[in-house]
Amino acid sequence: MIHKMQVHELKDYESLCERVVKHVLSYSEEKIAKHGRFTIALAGGSTPKGVYALMASEEYRNQFDWEKIHFFWGDERWVPSGHSRRNDCMATETLFAKVDIPAVNIHAFKVINANIELSADAYEKEIMRHFEIKENEIPRFDLILLGLGQDGHIASLFPNSEALHEKRRLVVSVFHERTSEHRITFTFPVLNRAESLFVMVSGSEKAKVLKKVLEAGDEHMLLPAQELKVNSGEVLWFVDRAAAELLS
């Protein structure tokens, strides 16, 4: 298992966003030059907001080849389309509403007959169509963006969840105890097959969990984020000084 982990420590959140955008841009250029398209899965929550806003800014928006970039999500909250808690709404507000991206390039989770299992299956089939793969094959995303929860979760893979052990399905539904919210999430087979994972961590409230994830051995129960081990790609951590304050 080739596991290359690199930690980029930036002085503050703005610098973290700038560094992430520069990496996403150069990565997208490399993949589009090689394969004619770039497929990225976005993270939800608050940390990525500055990244998406910067991608849509005067400074960057004309550098991205939007026609050739396909957007998925690594997870979504089980609330109706258009609901403010949805991760795709946040991305629409910060990014998609400001740049010219073909609607077909935006692959959002759809709520199907108010049935979360049907929606998870439908998303799995959309991923398989996009990557032209069959049952039991795992897609290889060029890039998956992730945040880090204070409990060590990534996407909606929470500690002690059955979903952590899913080996076959690409997308599953989970129940988030703390927020009593149902969610849909990529599984580890998808995350760990990605060419590249960018994990963005900002703020002193994440310092304790970041230290545990990056420095603790496996002497105790692993946190979900410690299971990120891309097979033949890279895991890049983008952390600001506040989040890194406890790192050795």
Residues that bind ligand 6PG (CB under 6 A): 43-47, 75, 87, 147-149, 153-155
∠ Cα 194 173 111 (to 5°) = 100
- Say if CB 12 and CB 238 are below 8 A apart: no
What minimum distance in Å lies between the beta carbon of 154 and ligand 6PG? 6
Residue 1 is encoded by which pair of tokens? Answer: 């298992």
User: With respect to ligand 6PG, which residue has the nearer C-beta, 28 or 185?
Assistant: 185
User: With respect to ligand 6PG, which residue has the nearer C-beta, 13 or 27?
Assistant: 13
Residue 18 forms beta bridges with which residues? none
What minimum distance in Å lies between the beta carbon of 46 and ligand 6PG? 4
What minimum distance in Å lies between the beta carbon of 17 and ligand 6PG? 12
Report how far apart, in Å, the C-alpha atoms of 126 and of each of 57, 132, 175, 196, 235 are: 30, 10, 22, 21, 25
- Side-chain half-sphere CA neighbours of 192 within 13 A: 19
Residue nearest to ligand 6PG (CB): 147
What minimum distance in Å lies between the beta carbon of 85 and ligand 6PG? 9
User: With respect to ligand 6PG, which residue has the nearer C-beta, 65 or 181?
Assistant: 181
